[in-house]
Amino acid sequence: MLDHAPYLGLIWALWGVGFLTTVGRAILRFKVQKKYVIEDYLALLCFIFLTALTSVITVVEPKFRIVRNYLLDSQTDPLTPPPLTMDQMLANNTIALKLMFSQMLLFWTTLWAGKFSLMAFFRRVVIGLPRYMMIYWVVFVIVMATYLACMLSNFLTCTPLTKYWSAMGCSDPENVVRADHSIKFATGADVAADLLIMLLPLRLLVKVRISAKQKIGLAWMFSLGLIVVAFAFIRLWKVTKATAHAQIDPTTLTEGPLLLSMWSQIEGAVALLVANIPAFRSLITPPGGTGIRPSKPYNRGSSYPENSNGDSRSKSISKPRVRRSSYEMQSLHSDEGSFGSRVELRDERNIVRTTEVAVAVHSRGEQSIQYPFSPAV
């Protein structure tokens, strides 16, 4: 366990990383695009909750450390005088446990604000594709449900709720086991939500016609949630390891809140970092570097089957080309289209949709048939 100064140094250093990436995101977005979109506001919300989480941890850490240090000293010397009077110690524990309760609510909200920021970004990738949008909303509902479940678990860990900040807190064996189950459930919900968000654009990525290098780059960006998953498992392991020895060594029970606070801060800061990283993609990807195009290459020799007389003819309007509708995803800041005869820029989402329409005509005897091309999505 870190001492007081290094502990708070780590807590605020993590906050500083979140602050720098959030400010950098805001400056870059405004400089290049002159406006903000929904994922920017959600990332800012994530930072605000991280700031609140950091502040609560800063206040609660000394209160738990007083108890921990006293228990450690009393094991060495049973005559060690308590640092506070009995009434002061009880008041200290009550305040610490109330802050710990609010800290967990802030922690889950920080994580899910980052998740929803990523989901807002992915929505701009799949918008206009009905099948993908349906999947998107299913994932959105599931992710929202996991957030509510994690918040609810915080209220059900210790019952009645007032016992949570009683003199002894939820330190009896039954509640310790319940708390252990609660953190395992919440971690599972956290990981499941991250995996669903990462899988959301996977099918689209498989179908797009881009180079293998570009696919790897996009897959890396879409898989950033794995970093949060890794830290979620580390947090679970560290906390459950401490509480598992609570019956043997009471000091480990006081270390539990300190470890939980530290690893909650680490995971929260990583969640904000992961939410901000896609906004910096334009710094390393040149305009037009990565696009999402049809899965089949363009073939100028577009034709239709011959009729019974063996003749066929086709003509195109405006452009002698037929393509499926395509979605360019240059960078998060790009307002440019790269090809096609019709370009639509969705201002609020900054997704370029390029559609080309061709009409082919061939004759069957005296009958003339037209084939309007309807872009498939």
Decide which of 175 and 28 is more confident. 28
- DSSP states of 326-350 as a string? EEE---TT-----S-S-EEEETTTT
Residues 151-184: tens digit of each pLDDT: 999 888 887 787 787 766 676 777 777 888 888 9
Convert 205-236 into a string of H (helix), E (strand) and C (coil). HHHCCCCHHHHHHHHHHHCCHHHHHHHHHHHH
Q: What are phi and psi of 369, to 5 degrees?
A: -120, 135
Interior angle at CA 132, CA 188 and CA 211, nearest 5? 95
Scanning the chain, the segments in alpha helix (DSSP H) are 4-33, 38-76, 86-126, 130-156, 173-199, 202-207, 212-222, 225-244, 250-276, 281-284
- Rounded to a whole number of angstroms, the distance between the first and last alpha carbons of the chain is 55
**pLDDT for 283:** 61
Tokens of 267: 């995971």
32 Cβ contact partners less than 8 Å away, ≥ 6 residues apart: 282, 333
pTM given for the model: 0.73
Among all chains, which residue has been given the structure tokens 């941890």?
57
Residues 74-110: tens digit of each pLDDT: 888 888 888 888 888 888 888 998 999 999 999 999 9
Task: Classify the C-alpha dihedral 294-299-302-304 as positive or negative.
Answer: negative
Distance (Å, rounded) from C-alpha 36 to C-alpha 349? 10
Q: Residues 157, 83: contact at Cβ < 8 Å?
A: no
297 Cβ contact partners less than 8 Å away, ≥ 6 residues apart: 209
Residue 342 has pLDDT above 80, yes or no: no
**pLDDT for 284:** 54
Locate the domains of the chain by residue range. Answer: 4-284, 287-377
Distance (Å, rounded) from C-alpha 250 to C-alpha 254? 7
Which range (139-153, 167-181, 304-318) has the least confidence? Answer: 304-318
Highest mean pLDDT among 188-192, 205-209, 310-314, 319-323: 188-192
